[in-house]
Amino acid sequence: MAVISIERMGLLSVFCVCLFFNSAFAVDRGNFKTCDQSSFCKRQRVLKPGQSPYRALLETLELSDSRLTLQLINDNNKVHLLLELYRLQGNMTRVKINELKPLKPRFEVPDVLIAEPPTEPLSVLSKDDNGIVLSLGAESQRLIVSARPFRLDIMEGPEVLLSLNSRGLLAFEHLHLRKDTQAQSDGAEVKESVDGDQQQDEGEKDEDGQSDKEEDGLWEETFKSHTDTKPNGPTSISLDFSLPGVEHVYGIPEHADDLKLKTTDGGDPYRLYNLDVFQYELYNPMALYGSIPVMLAHNTQRTMGIFWLNAAETWVDISSNTAGKTVFGKMLDFVQGSSEKPQTDIRWISESGIIDVFIMLGPKPSDVFSQYASLTGTQSFPPLASLGYHQCRWNYNDQEDVKSVDQGFDQHDIPYDFIWLDIEHADGKRYFTWDPHKFSQPKEMLQGLMDKRRKMVAIVDPHIKVDSGYKIHSEITSKDFYVKNKDGRNYEGWCWPGNSGYPDFTIPEMRAWWASMFAYDQYEGSMENLFTWNDMNEPSVFNGPEVTMHKDALHGKWEHREIHNIYGLYVQMATAEGQIQRSGGVERPFVLTRAFFAGSQRFGAVWTGDNAAEWGHLKISIPMCLSLGLVGVSFCGADIGGFFKNPSTELLVRWYQTGAYQPFFRAHAHLDTTRREPWLFGPENTALIREVIRQRYALLPYWYQLFFQAYRTGMPVMRPLWVDYPKDTATFTIDDEFLIGSDLLVHPVTEEGSRGVTAYLPGAGEVWYDVHTFQKHNGAQNLYIPVTLSSIPVFQRGGSIIPRKDRVRRSSACMENDPYTLYVALSPKKFAEGKLYIDDGHSFNYDAKKEFIHRSLTFANNALTSSNLCPDCNFLTSSWIEKVIILGASKPSKVVLKMDGKETPVDFEFDSSMSVLTLRKPGMNAGDDWTLLLQ
């Protein structure tokens, strides 16, 4: 929420608005740096491949059970680096590079890894003057260290899987003292580094070909009106990776771009730097609100991942020897046989810190997901209600407005679970408070929602109004928990309340205090059905450089430049912990965040930020969420209808149809937009929106099972087709359709005035069933689908079983004990399988007490069977199986339920025109063992 309504701000805030925001509701790219305006990026990009000064000193090799260490030397300046190699459990390799003897410690990112990764022994297979060969154990994998120039190659058999520094772009700007210009001119002084090697004098060039005197931005850098003092000088790092045989790479969110990452030759690299960018542009590599430095590489043989653990500003260059070829050139390769093996080269450039990279070797997509999850954790298992529909805008005016909107959903028979309050609900934007006039009885409001088994989310942002009468500010000040400026005073900047302080969430004690503020006796007016939204946590500073915090601000001994991209993660972490603590550790939290980093998936949901009511923004929501899912964050969505501007009725309906099949399903809008509750666009459009929201609620059992799987395994909930069809090259660039789990394929309509879409149905020999008509289609084809405004093309995979609850009520909690309908879609071999997961929907008892039901559903040999996947689990449900619909069936002579040693006949109907068999009211409890026999 990054554009301000003038009438709601004081005069000082208006000054802020005029200075820093474009009233045209479009991003001002001049507010944000390009690589050429970021001195370290520009400096690093000057380096040319093939001129590496780094050499491995093989005589320094030391090998223990858990790691190998080796010194590297830069032959230009004689600075020594320390290389550490680890073979990790689960087919991963970790590479760390740091200065051997830095002037002071360099920052290493804490709190992102869930634990120190377990290692496996490395062994030396051979060694000579040119290098060493190490065994990586699995499947003839070897790691080759070449000495001059330094290079690492990971091989499997004769194939090179991945190379480090093969292009010679390793660059490590070592910490050194700034030269005294006057002393140098007198010839009086030459500084020494702690390793005893003389530093260059003012005219001598560093490893990057620049000198302190010649290159602007080494010790101080100015962008627009802001100057970044750099007391540590230049500290950037860079490393290149080569991926032979790879043409397709994905990940490194967040960018409003295609799923498949583009080459960056001739343009800016992809930037990872959490920023408050309002109404962002599409299809460019600009930084947005979150940064996850994880990239996936995929071809028909293997999927791999690279995790660059660095929280500073980072740029990622991508080159490909197959990029830029004309169609004729590619045809010529096909006819003549290309002698050039495809290859993608990646270069990571970060402003500071160390090189700490995890190479995840797959080989299957699911392996990479589990490897990354073993490092940073899985998606948190959300409360079931949070998978329902969320109604939000900036802002619902007062308690009467909330009550009226709530009643509107009932009057129009539209289910929802959460209604949201933005910044205007608080008293003068003092978070943890309520406006005394507009929200004077918050508990009464919350109780009214609770009576209908509904919930609320209120915003709590991490900028705190500087006001001595405000409890939160006073306590943070007294505990000395604010971020400091470079002079050691509390850092202050402008945000929604005006002059604001920024809590230092890197301090564990600060996070613990913040969490304690969510206790019911601290957060006055809060109840157990109030949850939290963390916005503006990049952090957003309206009068800061690039609308964020100054890099030379201080978090204890570390500059903000070191930790910038994990600030938002810490905010969400502390907020989620507060929700857990307030319930005595019993209840699952729900926290939405805008800024995020690797590991943020452990703490809740994200959304794609301040989008616009434009067709392009609807379309881009698909690859944006797919990219997040690939790197661990499954709980993703976009503002339904667009945050800025007013959508056409057609766009709004299409956005609901798309959002209903994305993990996080929330409508949200800017303060200055017209109201857009679902019933305000005429009866016909209300009916269309109602129908797709009801489709979402019917599918909640399936969504819930998928989030349980994501929590357990790291598998993304919403995923690209290539994840399940990794050898089908036709899927590798598709990002206008997607899979939900393995069993639902969705092709939203994202073009204005569409009369048809072409969906690719993958899987040679497979079949797909239209979920609305039950019509069967063969896989491995492009299928043209005529559409009307009521159409949302969705297909169920043949061979799957999906549980649904077709009795839709006002909220998910109201459906808790309702019966299930099983949709059994048979494969050509008359087989199908699926799972059913049930728990209480909100507590941690599934984990703490094993209170859940997890069942395997299998159709084979004309029998549908439910069996227990967790015999030592204990949970009772009142839900029962109301109906079974079998697609692609043959007509039986009779159907018998076999249960508890008894056989009972079951009524059925058969539609011969569609080959659909419907079994009515078989009546078994959803948690019991049973078999339905088709005879």
Q: What are phi and psi of 184, to 5 degrees?
A: -65, -40
From the list 257, 610, 724, 736, the catalytic residue is 610
Q: How many helices (H) and strands (E) does the chain have?
A: 17, 53
CA 372 – CA 292 distance, rounded (Å): 12
CA 728 – CA 713 distance, rounded (Å): 24
> What Å distances lie between residue 91 and 141, 252, 261, 513, CA to CA?
10, 21, 25, 39
Q: Are 67 and 40 in contact (CB under 8 A)?
A: no
Residue 400: helix, strand or coil by DSSP?
A: helix
CA 401 – CA 421 distance, rounded (Å): 11
Angle of helix 683-698 relative to helix 649-659, nearest 10 degrees, comes to 10
Q: Is 535 a catalytic residue?
A: yes
Alpha helices for 751-861 (secondary structure H): 845-848
CA 517 – CA 474 distance, rounded (Å): 13
In terms of phi and psi (left: phi > 0; alpha: psi -120 to 50; beta: otherwise), the region of 697 is alpha
Nearest residue to 256 via CA among 752, 658, 614: 614
Q: Is 451 a catalytic residue?
A: no
CA 566 – CA 568 distance, rounded (Å): 5
Residue type, 209: G
Question: How far, rounded to the nearest angstrom, does the alpha carbon of residue 477 sit from its chain's CA centroid?
Answer: 33
Burial of 262 (0-12, 13-18, 19+ CB in 10 A): middle
Q: Are 172 and 81 in contact (CB under 8 A)?
A: yes
Nearest residue to 864 via CA among 934, 921, 806, 804: 934
Q: Are 788 and 850 in contact (CB under 8 A)?
A: no
From the list 356, 367, 535, 728, the catalytic residue is 535
Structure tokens belonging to residue 615: 């067709």
CA 544 – CA 466 distance, rounded (Å): 17
Structure tokens belonging to residue 233: 């000088």
Nearest residue to 195 via CA among 310, 332, 100: 100
Q: Which residues are catalytic?
A: 535, 610
